[in-house]
Structure formats: structure tokens, C-alpha cells
Chains A and B, each alone.
Chain A
Amino acid sequence: MSDTRTEETTDESAADDATVIAGSEEARSKAGSKAGKPAAPALGFVGGLRFIWTQLTTMRTALGLLFLLALAAIPGSLVPQQSISPVQVNLFLDQHKTLGPIYDKVGLFNVYTSPWFSAIYLLLFISLIGCIIPRVVVYLRALRAEPPRTPRYLHRMPAYVSTDLPADHRTDAPGAGRAVGDEEMIDLVEAGLRRRRYRVVRQSDGSVSAERGYLREAGNLLFHISLVFVLVGVAVVWLTNFRGTSAVVVGSGFANNLAQYDDFKAGPLFNEKSLTPFSIKVNSFDVQFETGAVQRGAAREFKANVTVTDAPGQKPHNATIQVNHPLRINGSTVHLVAWGYAPVVTVKDGDGNVAYSGPVIFLPQDGNFTSAGAIKAPDARPDRLGFEGLFLPSAVIDNTGPHSVFPDLYNPQLLLNAWSGKPGPETGVPESVYTLDKTGMKQIMDPKNPKQPLRFILRPGYVQKLPGGGSIQLDGVQRWIKLQVGDSPGVYIAIIAIGCAVLGLCFSLFIRPRRVWARLRTTKGSTVFEIAGLDRADARTGLQEDLADLLDDVVKRPGPRTEETT
């Protein structure tokens, strides 16, 4: 499978041109049909395999697989993907009770890892490999082959220039004032062709044949081989990569070990020991938002100022992490991928003791950072306490409900409902820190209207006393940032391969392979010097002009009488 077999356009006009350049598609499809035809009955097992193999490596199959690949990639952009937005997938499953499970069954939530998608690209790559291996062999042979013999009738070639040499041309050469023999003319044209980077061969009949543009097929092969290496690189990355995220409140820190990650994914060959033991303390986090009329609220800057300790015992140093400027520490890359607000609260229990004090991470729900979260005080006595609600950095409460209208802190409010219950057993079962597990808890009701649950709003510094005893105070608001730590060893295989692919592509699309022949033809006493050429790519741009130049070089006369065929 190669995309640039365009040589055939001129091959029909080159009757004498027997050799076809390495593996043109015509040759390939002929080979395919040759193997395919006797395939009708009684193929046998090996024959069957051979048949499948030749079918798989035909251009037609490759073309079909390419189309299929394009088609198969589309659903992944229409249906939410588990790997990209698991929340959307769950939402879809909730909303589509019949369609959801069907989608799930055929892998539409995991298109790019589904068996059918994998089958298409794997078949495509097998077809590609099956196609390039024989072509490499053919190409290596063609590299060592000599340019083809000079055809008998040069004037029938697509590009042709000639000039009559007068009978006394041997003494007519200007400048030198010495004889230019036939032999010498052929030498001159040979030198001219070599200067133009042709591979030149002197034929036994005294003519010259030349060829150039071998890099076209080389580029073509390089492109396709590089694609295989892109896939290899992707596979290596998948096997060995890891990526974890951790939400860190400004003022606190993160140490690189598995226990500190909120979320961690790694390839099968990942080894936990390869996590480098660095630690990061987040000192401050600067954010700026657009306050002008255009794109109001859009982010303008995110910058985390951190102190990094590369390894335990080493001297800490300061650094910044920004979008587009990740931090690289001993092979791991630390990205700033998200951020949000963490209200700092103090919960006192019915006994008057502090049951919880510190920042609580709330998750942003929209672009203006309307954030949701839960505050838990399981150690509160006599009853344990829990709160759930919204944090609004720039709060507005209107008929669409409470929401934030700007991502920065202009009117911070914490809207909460409260629950209380008997102290529960320590189960040790991990639970989400962002939602409150209300089993065994009762919602605290409004003392003025016992039918309504208690709802209250805290501004920084405000305290809310709870009817059943205890209180909660909003001490302030802190920000948290989500750090992503990851490493993709092997990605350089893919990047270098893509670079080679682009290079190969340029060679295969822009290099024009050409063949040129030159000879002196003597008929009835008059001698004609002829040069003919064949552009083996689809276009003949400038070949005629180039040949005329070459002729001028050899027959050094001002304004040579060249006869051109058009």
C-alpha cells in the first residue's frame, strides 16, 4: 500500500520501457490477481491462507480498510467515551435505558479500544507490512540495477530535443577551437547528466541512458515503515506509561507515591518502584480572569508557585507550574490540569469540641466555578455531623437557583444543608470525599419551620449554630489545584517516527523520477544529436526545458536550433 504510485501515466508511451519501477500498483494488482485467479476451487489450507494474504495486501483492501478506519473513528466523537468523560457516559446510560446497554455491548463507549476498531487498524497495519516488505526487496534490487537500455525511437518519448550537427561539426566547436569527436560529445552529455545527479550508463551502442529520482520510492517506503513505528511507539507508551492526578490545596503538599494519588492509571509494564520520590509543596496559586466585556470570565493566567524537593534529603527549590509549562522532575512530568475552591471551615460538635477544621475541596460544576462538595465531621460527639452543598465564588441567587456568575472571589458564599446521626462504625471502606454518605444520618430541619430542611448561607467569618448543638464556621476560602504526574517512555519513538513519516512523504510526493537517453544518430551522412526523457511521476513539468538546457550544455552554441516535439 503506497499512495504515490503515479508512474503508470507515462509508461504506455514508453514502449521500450520494460522494467517497471519498484512495485508500482499495477504490478501489485497484477500479482494479486495472478495469485487470486487459480483460487477458485480446491485451494487447500495453505492455498487459502495464501489467497487471504494476497487479498489482504492488495491496494484495494488497503483502501477499504482506510475508509473503514475513518468511518469507525467517527462514533467516538458522537458518543461520550469512558476514557474521556465517564460522567457523560453515566448520564447517557441514565437517559437511554434501551439504547445505553446496546451501546455498551458493542463498545461504543470505548470505541478506540473496542475489538472492531482494533481489528481495523491491526488489519491495516498487517496489510501495510505485507505490502512494504516485498517492495523493499524490489527497491533494493532496483537500486543496484542499471538505467534501462536506450529505446530505438527516441522521438517517440514524451520529451525530446534534438539538433542537427553539420557534417563538419567535429571542427566547428566554438571556444576550444579543437575537434569534438562523437565520443567526446557523449562524454559531455554524460558529464552534464552526472552534474544533474543522474545515474548514467554508457550503453554498448554508444548511447547514454540515465536515471534519477530513486529517493521517491525510498521516501514512500520510509513513510510506510515510519507509520509502523508510530504504532510501535504508541504500543510502548501504552505498556509503560503512568498518569495520576492529585488535588492539592494551596499551602499543602504532595509526595509522589501511590497513596497520594486520587486517581492513577498505568500500563501493564509499569513498575511502582519507578515513581521517583519527589515532593511538591504548593505555596500559592495565581489566577486571573478576563474582567472586560469580551469573553468576561475567561481564564487569562494560571500559575502555581511551588517548592520542589527532587528526592528526600535534597535541597528544596522553587518552581512554577503553568498551563503549557509543565514541570519535569527526574523523568516525570507534572502538569497543572485543573483547579477549584476549597472553603476552609471549622466544625464544632455538640460538646463544644472542634470536630473538623481545615480546607474542604469542592468540585467546580460550571465555568464560573459553582462548586459542589461535602463537609464531614465523623468524629463529632454526641452526634456525628455532615454537610452538603454549594460554594459560590461570586454568588447570585435568582429564579434559576443559586449559582456563581464569575469565577473569581467577588461574593463568596457557602450554601449548606446539614445532617446528623449516631456515630457509625469505622468500616474502613473508602468513600468519596465529595459526597456525603447519609446512611444512618438524619437531615437537620429548620427550627422555625420543622417541615423544611435547614438551609443556611455562610460568608467568610460567619458561624451557623446547629439546632441540635454544634456549629460550623467559614474561616476563609483557599484554592486547590489538580496536579497530574505522568511519564510516557517510548513516546519519542512515535515522535521521531512521525518526523520520518513526514520526511518520507515529502520525498515520495515531490521527487520526480526521470529517465533520460542521449545518442548520436547518423543517417545518410547527416548526424542528429538526440536527447529524450521520461518523467515517471505524473507530471512532466520542465522536463522539456531541462533537456533543452542539457543540449545547450553539450552543443555549446548560442541559440541552438532545437527541434521540439510537443
Chain B
Amino acid sequence: MTAQTFSSLALVTAVVIYLLAFSMHTVEWASARKIKNDEADAVREPALVGAGGPDVVPPTSGSAPGSGAAATGGSAPLTPRQRSETFGRLGVSFTMIGLACAIAGVVARGIAAGRWPLGNMFEFTTMAMVIIVAAYLVLARMGMRWLGLPVTLLATVGNGLAVTVFYVAVAPLVPALHSVWFVIHITAAAISGSAFNIGGLISILYLIKKRAEDKGTVGSMLGRLPDARRMDVIAYRVLAFAFPLWTFTIAAGAVWAEYAWGRYWGWDPKETWALVTWVIFACYLHARSTAGWKGSRAGMIAILGLAVFWFNFIGVNLLFAGLHSYAGI
């Protein structure tokens, strides 16, 4: 088996396992619905956000999260809480296995190509998904397992698209990509893009939770999410990390463009849409501190920014002819 076939196999396996993980998380959420309100699971505060602050809901003295899983060995039927907890943990375990497969796939792809595996849409997508899932697993350890459902869905769809639509066989790079900036520019783009994705997902959940909070219809399912204000802070953190990196990505791209194409900025469609993405996330950061725009509206801007990022990645490559169209797809 060549490294290339191994890579494809590993990535297809990863898609299947992510799909399984997603199913586990669906069961986790569905079971959470049946948890009686009075025993609603206290949301474990993400360590990232930290303790303190008078507005934090004190944990209810329900059973500790661990006790549910411990009881699953018995023959007694599972309570909804136990089922939810068990499937949540299963989801995380499957995600870990999926990530291991995806990492193996990406590494094998790099070995097969003999270069940094970010030379086309397929490689970029699989790499970004590895970063997203790895970041999520770190966050899950800090108590943010509620991201499991959207992240596994994203990883399934993303890797699925990569192995079906974007797939191209290994090939050397065109001369324009023979540069150290290839590693710098595209890696920065992959990391900041991943952060945009995570921030966007949190913003979506935030909007859902905020709506429910405003209407007073937070059930035991949405009760799994931290309170809306805190989610807003987490989304902001992630996007605040992404924004300077994205600024750097664009600047590094401009410097590289001078070497490769003889101009710093030429309003190539990719460049234009990268700037549009930048401006939208700048809007987001400003909106978060503007009266009348903070909260839901800022959340919507973040989602719009994510949509623009995706369009820049997929739409611009496939719809427009530009200098960033290379390697077939």
C-alpha cells in the first residue's frame, strides 16, 4: 500500500468514525431532553472561563458527572442522565479515534507528497479539520464537551467533502508555490480558519441559547450549554485569537505575492474576499462593544464572517478564475 492510498483510507475511516461520534452526541443530546428539570445537570464551567463572578450559577448538588458512567456497568436500565453522560463520553472517545485516523491520513499525505500537505483544497480541508477537532478535544477537557455535536458534524461534513469533492491525487506544486511563504501563509490561514469555524459554531449555539433564555424556554437539553453570556465570551475569545492571525495571514500573503507574482496586492478574488472576511470580523469585534449591537447581533456578524470565510475558501476557488486557482481544484 502506498502512502497515498493509506492516507485516503485513513481519512475515509475518519469520516465514518466522526459520523459515529456525531451519532453518539445526538443520542447524548436527545437523552438530555428526558432529564427532569429538577435534576438538570449542572453545566460544568469551562476552566477557560474560570471561577469567580457573582453571576455564575452555583452548581446544583446533583450527582457528580462521573457517577452516571460508573453505574452503567450494572444491569439496571439507565436513567436518562446516565445515558446522556455515557453517550457523551462515547462521542468524545470516538472523536479521539477519528482524530487519530485523520492525523495519520494527513501525515501520510505529507509523506506521499514529500512536502507540507497544504497544497490544495483537499489538503487544506483535512488539515483544518484536524486542527479544529484537536482544539475541540482540548476544550472538551476544559469542560466544553457541549461543542461535540457541532464539531463532529463539521468534521464529518468537512472531511466528507474533502475525500469526495475536493479530492486530488498527490502531485508536486506549481512553481508559484515553491516558497517558504507557502508554509507560513497557508498554515496561518488554516489555523485562523479553524478558529473562525470554532468561533462561528459557538456563536450559532450562543444564538440558540440566547433565544431560549430570552423566551424563558431553556429546557434540560439547552441547559447543557453554559449561559448565553458566557458562550458569548468564549466565542469572543476564540475569534479574538483568530483575528490577529488572520491579519498576519493576509499580510504574509501580500509579501509572498510580491515574490511570486510581482505585486503585493492585486485585488485577486481570493485577496478581495480575504479582506472582506477581515472587515466582517473587525465589525464583529467593534459590534461587541457597541450599544445596540452587542449580544445577538454581534453573534450574527460572527456567523456571517464564517459564511464569508467558507465562500472565500470554496466559492472563490470553484467559481472565479484567479491566481489562487491552482492544482486543478
> Which residues from B are CB-within-8-Å of A243?
262-263
Q: Give the contacting residue for B267; candidates A76, A337, A494; CB below 8 A.
A: A76
> Which residues from B are CB-within-8-Å of A566?
51-54, 56, 58
Binds B, one of A48-56, A176-184, A254-262, A317-325: A317-325
Docked-complex contact A66 and B286, CB < 8 angstroms: yes
Q: Is A62 part of the binding interface, using a Cβ–Cβ cutoff of 8 Å? A: yes
Q: Is A162 part of the binding interface, using a Cβ–Cβ cutoff of 8 Å? A: no
Binds A, one of B26-34, B90-98, B220-228, B237-245: B237-245
Docked-complex contact B247 and A505, CB < 8 angstroms: yes
Q: Which residue of B is nearest A68, CB measured?
A: B279
Measured in the bound complex, the distance between the Cα atoms of B291 and A6 in whole Å is: 11
Q: Is A271 part of the binding interface, using a Cβ–Cβ cutoff of 8 Å? A: no
Q: Give the contacting residue for A63; candidates B48, B169, B290; CB below 8 A.
A: B290
Q: Which residue of B is nearest A71, CB measured?
A: B276
Mask for A529-547, Cβ within 8 A of B = 1, else 0?
0000000001111111100
Cβ distance B284 to chain A, nearest Cβ, rounded Å: 8
Residues 387-432 of A contacting B (Cβ, < 8 Å): none
Measured in the bound complex, the distance between the Cα atoms of B290 and A29 in whole Å is: 8
Mask for A187-218, Cβ within 8 A of B = 1, else 0?
00000000000000000000000000000000
Q: Is B115 part of the binding interface, using a Cβ–Cβ cutoff of 8 Å? A: no
> Which residues from B are CB-within-8-Å of A237?
264
Q: Which residue of A is nearest B176, CB measured?
A: A323
Docked-complex contact A539 and B233, CB < 8 angstroms: yes
Docked-complex contact A509 and B244, CB < 8 angstroms: yes
Docked-complex contact A543 and B275, CB < 8 angstroms: no
Q: Is A284 part of the binding interface, using a Cβ–Cβ cutoff of 8 Å? A: no
> Which residues from B are CB-within-8-Å of A333?
258, 262
Q: Is A42 part of the binding interface, using a Cβ–Cβ cutoff of 8 Å? A: no
> Which residues from A are CB-within-8-Å of B276?
70, 73-74
Q: Which residue of A is nearest B241, CB measured?
A: A509
> Which residues from B are CB-within-8-Å of A25?
289-291
Task: Give the size of the chain B interface in residues (CB under 8 angstroms).
Answer: 63
Q: Of residues A243, A300, A488, which shows the largest number of chain B Cβ atoms within 10 Å of its Cβ?
A: A300
Q: Is B209 part of the binding interface, using a Cβ–Cβ cutoff of 8 Å? A: no
Residues 67-107 of A contacting B (Cβ, < 8 Å): 67, 69-70, 73-74, 76-77, 81, 83-84
Q: Is B73 part of the binding interface, using a Cβ–Cβ cutoff of 8 Å? A: no
Cβ distance A42 to chain B, nearest Cβ, rounded Å: 28
> Which residues from B are CB-within-8-Å of A502?
244, 247-248, 251
Measured in the bound complex, the distance between the Cα atoms of B273 and A77 in whole Å is: 8
Q: Give the contacting residue for B244; candidates A69, A293, A506; CB below 8 A.
A: A506
Q: When A66-B282, A84-B266 are in contact, do A301 and B240 touch as well, CB less than 8 Å?
A: no
Q: Give the contacting residue for A488; candidates B251, B264, B268; CB below 8 A.
A: B264
Q: Which residue of A is nearest B169, CB measured?
A: A294
Measured in the bound complex, the distance between the Cα atoms of B106 and A289 in whole Å is: 26
> Which residues from B are CB-within-8-Å of A70?
276, 279-280, 283, 308
> Which residues from B are CB-within-8-Å of A501?
247
Cβ-Cβ contact count across A and B, 8 Å cutoff: 174
Docked-complex contact B290 and A300, CB < 8 angstroms: no
Docked-complex contact B54 and A13, CB < 8 angstroms: yes
Q: When A324-B176, A325-B259 are in contact, do A73 and B289 touch as well, CB less than 8 Å?
A: no
Docked-complex contact A484 and B262, CB < 8 angstroms: yes
Q: When A73-B276, A486-B262 are in contact, do A63 and B174 touch as well, CB less than 8 Å?
A: no
Docked-complex contact B272 and A300, CB < 8 angstroms: no
Docked-complex contact B283 and A66, CB < 8 angstroms: yes
> Which residues from B are CB-within-8-Å of A540?
50, 52-53
Cβ distance A31 to chain B, nearest Cβ, rounded Å: 13
Q: How large is the interface on A (under 10, 10 to 19, 20 to 34, 35 or more residues)?
A: 35 or more
Measured in the bound complex, the distance between the Cα atoms of B55 and A13 in whole Å is: 11
Measured in the bound complex, the distance between the Cα atoms of B55 and A565 in whole Å is: 11
Docked-complex contact B273 and A295, CB < 8 angstroms: no
Docked-complex contact A302 and B175, CB < 8 angstroms: yes
Q: When A77-B273, A295-B327, A509-B240 are in contact, do A324 and B175 touch as well, CB less than 8 Å?
A: yes
Docked-complex contact B171 and A292, CB < 8 angstroms: yes
Q: Give the contacting residue for A298; candidates B171, B279, B287; CB below 8 A.
A: B171
Docked-complex contact A77 and B316, CB < 8 angstroms: yes
Measured in the bound complex, the distance between the Cα atoms of B48 and A275 in whole Å is: 58
Q: Which residue of A is nearest B239, CB measured?
A: A509
Docked-complex contact A505 and B244, CB < 8 angstroms: yes
Docked-complex contact A5 and B272, CB < 8 angstroms: no
Docked-complex contact B175 and A300, CB < 8 angstroms: yes
Residues 1-53 of A contacting B (Cβ, < 8 Å): 1-6, 8, 13, 24-26, 29
> Which residues from A are CB-within-8-Å of B263?
243, 486
Docked-complex contact A62 and B52, CB < 8 angstroms: no
Residues 511-551 of A contacting B (Cβ, < 8 Å): 538-545
Q: Give the contacting residue for A76; candidates B175, B272, B327, B328; CB below 8 A.
A: B272
Q: When A1-B286, A495-B255, A565-B54 are in contact, do A63 and B172 touch as well, CB less than 8 Å?
A: no
Residues 40-71 of B contacting A (Cβ, < 8 Å): 48-54, 56, 58
Q: Which residue of A is nearest B178, CB measured?
A: A324
Q: Is B288 part of the binding interface, using a Cβ–Cβ cutoff of 8 Å? A: yes
Docked-complex contact B52 and A59, CB < 8 angstroms: no
Q: Is A172 part of the binding interface, using a Cβ–Cβ cutoff of 8 Å? A: no
Q: Which residue of A is nearest B285, CB measured?
A: A3
Measured in the bound complex, the distance between the Cα atoms of B267 and A484 in whole Å is: 18
> Which residues from A are CB-within-8-Å of B283?
63, 66-67, 70
Docked-complex contact A84 and B268, CB < 8 angstroms: yes
> Which residues from A are CB-within-8-Å of B308?
70
Docked-complex contact B262 and A541, CB < 8 angstroms: no
Cβ distance B159 to chain A, nearest Cβ, rounded Å: 21
Mask for B179-193, Cβ within 8 A of A = 1, else 0?
100000000000000
Measured in the bound complex, the distance between the Cα atoms of B178 and A509 in whole Å is: 34
Docked-complex contact B178 and A59, CB < 8 angstroms: no
Q: Which residue of B is nearest A62, CB measured?
A: B286
Q: Is B260 part of the binding interface, using a Cβ–Cβ cutoff of 8 Å? A: yes
Q: When A63-B286, A158-B52 are in contact, do A29 and B291 touch as well, CB less than 8 Å?
A: yes
> Which residues from A are CB-within-8-Å of B244?
502, 505-506, 509
> Which residues from B are CB-within-8-Å of A509?
240-241, 243-244
Question: Can you sample 22 A-B contacts with CB below 8 Å?
Answer: A6-B236, A25-B289, A60-B292, A60-B293, A62-B286, A63-B283, A66-B279, A77-B320, A81-B267, A84-B267, A111-B267, A237-B264, A292-B171, A322-B178, A324-B176, A324-B179, A325-B259, A326-B262, A509-B244, A541-B49, A543-B52, A566-B56
Identify 4 new A-B residue pairs, CB closer than 8 A, beyond the known A8-B289, A292-B171, A565-B54.
A66-B279, A77-B269, A159-B52, A505-B247
Binding site for B on A (CB under 8 A): 1-6, 8, 13, 24-26, 29, 59-60, 62-63, 66-67, 69-70, 73-74, 76-77, 81, 83-84, 111-112, 158-159, 237, 243, 290, 292-295, 298-302, 322-326, 333, 335, 337, 484, 486, 488, 491, 494-495, 498-499, 501-502, 505-506, 509-510, 538-545, 565-566
A-B complex: 5 closest residue pairs judged by Cβ atoms: A3-B285, A335-B262, A5-B289, A541-B50, A544-B52
